[in-house]
């Protein structure tokens, strides 16, 4: 088994569950913010895509660069999050033991890839919680999880 398999499964679950949870935010609330300085669900998805994409590039030896897409609707947001997290999972699956010893550029400086492989996973799961919290602010207190076992 790939030693990064748990991270691959977590980022895959996170992407799919974010897409699933977006279906429980009403269309007219996708751009809603609970406060002026807060992010909307669409802006959270943009951030996921930009930052996870930046870490994906860094894992492939590129400069860390956040380049978020502009998202304006549910289906575009779902597709973008799924693409970003799927790409990250694929990159994790392609890394060899020797790749993990090579340094990568991060916003925190250069570090061995072995120390940075989880950053995209943490980013995804962190923002998953924000999406779920927005749902609760909109009155949906039910937990919506997808079944990834089958």
Q: Which residues pair with 111 in a beta bridge?
A: 104
Q: Is 142 within a domain? A: no
3-state helix, strand, coil in the chain (%, to 5): 60, 5, 35
pLDDT, tens digit, 9 for 90 and up, residues 60-110: 999 999 999 999 999 999 999 999 999 999 999 999 999 999 999 999 999
Q: What is the mean pLDDT of residues 18-34?
A: 96
On the 0-12 / 13-18 / 19+ scale of CB atoms within 10 A, 75 is exposed
Q: Is 150 within a domain? A: no
Q: Is 34 within a domain? A: yes
Reported as a pLDDT band with limits 50, 70 and 90, residue 123 is very high
Task: Measure the CA–CA gap between 22 and 41, rounded to whole angstroms.
Answer: 8
Note down the domain range covering 10. Answer: 5-137
The residue assigned the tokens 């924000």 is: 130
Task: Measure the CA–CA gap between 15 and 124, rounded to whole angstroms.
Answer: 7
The domain tally of the chain equals 1
| Residue 118, domain CATH | 1.20.120.450
* Sign (positive or negative) of CA dihedral 21, 22, 23, 29: positive
pLDDT at residue 79, rounded to an integer: 98
Q: Is 26 within a domain? A: yes
Both structure tokens of 115 = 């120390």
Q: Is the pLDDT of residue 47 over 70?
A: yes
Q: What percent of the chain has pLDDT over 70?
A: 99
Both structure tokens of 31 = 């751009």
Q: Is 71 within a domain? A: yes
Q: Is 148 within a domain? A: no
Task: Measure the CA–CA gap between 29 and 13, rounded to whole angstroms.
Answer: 24
CA distances from 117 to 23, 77, 141 (A): 29, 24, 33
Q: What secondary structure letter does DSSP report for 109? A: E
Q: Is 115 within a domain? A: yes
């Amino acid at each position: 088994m790939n030693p990064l398999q748990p991270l691959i499964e977590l980022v895959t679950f996170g992407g799919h569950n974010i897409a699933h949870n977006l279906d429980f935010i009403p269309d007219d609330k996708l751009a809603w913010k609970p406060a002026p300085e807060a992010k909307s669900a669409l802006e959270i998805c943009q951030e996921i895509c930009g930052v996870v994409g930046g870490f994906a590039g860094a894992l492939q030896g590129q400069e860390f660069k956040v380049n978020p897409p502009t998202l304006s609707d549910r289906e575009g947001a779902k597709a973008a999050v799924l693409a970003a997290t799927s790409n990250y999972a694929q990159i994790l699956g392609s890394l060899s033991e020797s790749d993990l010893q090579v340094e990568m550029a991060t916003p925190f400086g250069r570090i061995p890839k072995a120390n940075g492989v989880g950053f995209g996973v943490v980013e995804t799961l962190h923002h998953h919680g924000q999406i779920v919290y927005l749902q609760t602010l909109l009155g949906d207190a039910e937990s919506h999880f997808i079944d990834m076992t089958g």
